Structure 1
Amino acid sequence: MVNKKTVILFIIILTLISLSAYAYKRTWYLDSVISKIDFNRVYAVDDKGVQMAIGSGFIQDVKKSQEQDGLEFTVDNIIVDKKRIVVFYTIKNKLDHRYIKRIYYSLYDENKEPIEGSTSPNISYEDTDLNKVKRVHDSFEIILSEEIKTPSKIKMDITLNESKYTSQEYDEIMNSNKMNDSDNSSYMYTLYIPIDKKIFEAKEKIYNINETIDIQNQNIFIDNIVVYPTVATLDIRYDEDNTMEVFEIKDLKLSTLDKEYNLGINSIISSNKDEFTRSLYFESPYFEDREELYINGSGIKALEKDKLEVVVDIENKKLIKLLVSNLKLKKVSDEKDSFLENKNHYELKFECDRDISFSFEFKDKDNASFRAYSVGYSEEDDYKEIYYVIDKDVKYKNPITLTISDYDNLINKPFKIEVK
């Protein structure tokens, strides 16, 4: 016969074990949630699509490191889909290092073929003193030129450029010609990252749209959108018969009923297949469980095509053609007080009451193409100044033709296109 007290004790023990197991699971769950929040904070992840990919487990732990002269580079995690690769990393200072100014990277697949695409050199720690914080976290990425099959291994060649100086100090010393070779260093790393293909099996979602946006008789053809786990690509075409050059579709976004997905992936906006065709990159709604998806915009920024060219007689320092009424050529100069203080360059100074920019490429009298030495901008209270600097020693024939590449002329017409 079982003692009553023994039964009660047994029940209490089982209850405690069950509660402990529940508490353990609950604690693990909370830790996981906190970990994801911390991950986004530590690596400065503000891309909604990548945040959802991480939250959905579409990410692989790596923890591969290499050290050069007391500066350790670690690949912590990686995300791979057919159109984008995101690498999360840590730089650790084990000796006496200061400011990392640039990171350069090249990626290769298992066949030693380069993985090509658009990259961004942006870093979040350029003026962070590694002697004080000892380590920094960030990410880099590639928006792939073409779809790829998930590789089984990725080789990464990484170069870190280090300086002893903050950005402001660096510029001041460079301008004073007092920079020494010993003030800057480069460190190179090669890491081989095995890829767990099972993690990255998610398939892209393709939506054919075939809609036309007509804004002031300027046609924009919206062909299709492909939603990958970390990026959505929207394929559009500008009608070749448009009378205006469309510089931008204003406030272009993807949206559901309660969330918007922004245009641009870490400052990478689009890839241009030709003069009229664009693939635009958006944050991805792939992991959002919504039945609806829309494309929204408020209008276009555009200028008549016959007003795009500005023709300047460099030798006689005067305008030959300028059809934008609020753009003025103020000076053509090669004097000592010019923008670059360099007599080997001409400086063209323009003024405009709104944002405007010129293409770096210009043409001469014979339609031969050249590139500007530099293009600069400054902003006054009620106008903008644009500096266009060209090399006097280049053998172009006068006059030269500049092309307006952006002009803040807004044509408002909101639109909303249903994707699904």
Structure 2
Amino acid sequence: MFEREEEMINESKKRLDEVSIPDELVNSAIQEGLQKAKAKRRKRRKTIWTLGVAAVLMLAFTTSIRVSPAFASAVASIPGLERFVHILQPEFDKGLEAIIENEYYEPIAISQTRNNITFTLDGVIIDETGAEIFYTLEAPRSIKNIDYGDIKFLNGDRELVGSIAYNSPNQEDDNRKTDKFSFTFVDIEKFKTKDFTIKFEVKEGREDLTSFEIPFTIKNDLMNGKVFEVNEEVVIDGQKVFVEEVKIYPLRVALTMRFDEGNDMVLLQFEDIRLEDEKGEVWSSIRNGSSGFGGLGDLEKTFFLQSNYFKEPKELYLKFDKVQALPKKESYLLVDFSKKEILEQPSFEKIKVTKILSGGLELEYKPIKENHTYSLFSRGENANGEYVDIPYQSSWQDEEYQYASIQLEGNIMNPVKLPFDAYPNYLKGSASIQIK
């Protein structure tokens, strides 16, 4: 069906590194991925919004890449893809061609108009771990500064529980916004129907809300995960890690690990965790959106990697190094918000609290990883040991520093303990396990 598009994509890939790319093509919604295109990075301030749920460690994303005009043109020629070519994320860089060839991306093209705003559901990619919902908003007025209220995704009449991430990209037209909602489910979902509904609210100002609700039915069969039982233990810098299983889905790879309770360090982010085939090709690495389930103190975590579901390598290896970690006794901030004091913090002093607000913090640090923003916290604990939510986090950066702002919600009984989910302190060593 897509012979012409396949030829164009293959030709584009050959010419990718030969194309000179001007600054104007930078879009803050597009992610790192085709960085071999050699161009100067445009200076700008970036802001990230995350919506979290309990037990979900969600790392939001907003960075930039350079896109080959030839490749973009090829992708845009495929029915349904032309409307969001500028927001394709890096997790699709290797898998996009395979998703298209196997017709797993599904065009929808359903529109709904409310309050002179037209929402078009361009297309979807859905599997048992989550969904990518591509859409366009248009209006006869500027919608440059809109925000979102409730965002829900339903299978039949059942709401799917998980995290939602979305960008706030720079747009060429103030009255047109092309973006996507990224859903990551808390549990692996076994759908009972192919009928879905996307519901969300658009905010214009504090009180002006416009609600959209679009039901749709997919034609694709939802593909099951490929499961590799691993059950192997590795030791890195004295810390024991037990790798339980690897499940490969069209949208992402789910890697489940368990950490030894006797470890003296809390393991945070695995910056360089990847799957490699027998030729040494890295075909699955850490995603630039949600990185997994589980928070600080959880002895079992699920990490999400990029996926290339439709490839079948002869051999497959799980490798990781550059693991963020903190001593258990220094793995958090202890904050008295009433006195605006930091009572306890890591001795490494690589993240600085610059401002204590009423139930919130602002922080400054050197970027932990180039073009990848980690959320520093996912939840807190008050003096009574009760859970304190962090529903809002934002991040931006300048030429030198990364900045973060968090806002707590709930019973802020001081002092409040804020365990770190990310911190630029690393274990020494690496690990390699053959899984196929």
TM-score (norm 2): 0.66
Q: Deviations over 1:288-333 (max 9, x none)?
A: 23222221212422122133366678899988766726589999xx
In the alignment, is the contact (CA less than 8 A) between 1:297 and 1:414 conserved in 2? Answer: yes
Cα gap change, 1:234 to 1:64, in 2 (>3 Å): same
Which of 242, 245, 264 aligns to 2:266? It is 245
Tell me the equivalent position of 1:61: 107
How much does 1:101 deviate?
Answer: 2.9
* 1:88-99 matches, cutoff 5 A: 88-93=134-139, 95-99=140-144
Q: Deviations over 1:85-110 (max 9, x none)?
A: 222222233x2233153345312222
CA–CA distance in 2 between the matches of 1:351 and 1:122? 22
How much does 1:82 deviate?
Answer: 1.9
Cα gap change, 1:114 to 1:410, in 2 (>3 Å): same
Which of 159, 169, 193 aligns to 2:201? It is 159
Unaligned runs of 5+ in 1: 1-23, 164-180, 332-337
CA–CA distance in 1 between the matches of 2:378 and 2:127? 34
Q: Deviations over 1:181-217 (max 9, x none)?
A: 6xx7432211110221xx2253321101111120122
Tell me the equivalent position of 1:259: 282
The AA in structure 2 aligned to 1:361 is G
Is 1:101 aligned to 2:143, yes or no? no
CA–CA distance in 2 between the matches of 1:249 and 1:401? 23
Unaligned runs of 5+ in 2: 11-70, 369-374
Is 1:188 aligned to 2:230, yes or no? no
In the alignment, is the contact (CA less than 8 A) between 2:124 and 2:132 conserved in 1? Answer: yes
CA–CA distance in 2 between the matches of 1:223 and 1:383? 37
How much does 1:286 deviate?
Answer: 0.8
Tell me the equivalent position of 2:191: 149
* 1:171-186 matches, cutoff 5 A: 185-186=208-209
Tell me the equivalent position of 2:292: 270
CA–CA distance in 1 between the matches of 2:74 and 2:359? 54
SS of alignment partner, residue 411 of structure 1: coil
Going by fraction, where is helix more abundant, 1 or 2? 1
CA–CA distance in 2 between the matches of 1:304 and 1:262? 26
CA–CA distance in 2 between the matches of 1:217 and 1:117? 34
Tell me the equivalent position of 2:88: 44
Tell me the equivalent position of 1:214: 235
The AA in structure 1 aligned to 2:160 is I
How much does 1:283 deviate?
Answer: 1.4
Cα gap change, 1:230 to 1:359, in 2 (>3 Å): closer
In the alignment, is the contact (CA less than 8 A) between 2:380 and 2:417 conserved in 1? Answer: no
Is 1:200 aligned to 2:241, yes or no? no
Number of aligned residue pairs:
355
Which of 339, 361, 365 aligns to 2:380? It is 361
CA–CA distance in 2 between the matches of 1:62 and 1:294? 37
Is 1:301 aligned to 2:324, yes or no? yes
CA–CA distance in 2 between the matches of 1:149 and 1:374? 30
Cα gap change, 1:396 to 1:268, in 2 (>3 Å): closer
The AA in structure 2 aligned to 1:258 is E
The AA in structure 2 aligned to 1:268 is S
SS of alignment partner, residue 53 of structure 1: helix
Tell me the equivalent position of 2:30: none
The AA in structure 2 aligned to 1:96 is R
The alignment yields a C-alpha RMSD, in angstroms, of: 4.5
Tell me the equivalent position of 2:60: none
SS of alignment partner, residue 98 of structure 2: helix
SS of alignment partner, residue 128 of structure 2: coil
Q: Which has the higher contact order (CA 8 A, sep 6+)?
A: 2
CA–CA distance in 2 between the matches of 1:200 and 1:233? 20
Q: Deviations over 1:226-245 (max 9, x none)?
A: 11122210011111111111
Which of 170, 174, 182 aligns to 1:130? It is 174
The farther-off stretch of 81-90 and 371-380 is: 371-380
TM-score (norm 1): 0.68
Cα gap change, 1:130 to 1:153, in 2 (>3 Å): same
In the alignment, is the contact (CA less than 8 A) between 1:327 and 1:350 conserved in 2? Answer: no
How much does 1:259 deviate?
Answer: 3.5
CA–CA distance in 2 between the matches of 1:286 and 1:253? 14
Identity score, percent: 18
CA–CA distance in 1 between the matches of 2:212 and 2:339? 54
In the alignment, is the contact (CA less than 8 A) between 2:391 and 2:407 conserved in 1? Answer: yes
How much does 1:27 deviate?
Answer: 5.9
Is 1:70 aligned to 2:116, yes or no? yes
Cα gap change, 1:200 to 1:123, in 2 (>3 Å): farther
CA–CA distance in 1 between the matches of 2:5 and 2:364? 61
Tell me the equivalent position of 1:413: 429
The farther-off stretch of 349-358 and 212-221 is: 349-358
Q: Deviations over 1:7-51 (max 9, x none)?
A: xxxxxxxxxxxxxxxxx9976875798875223734424323355
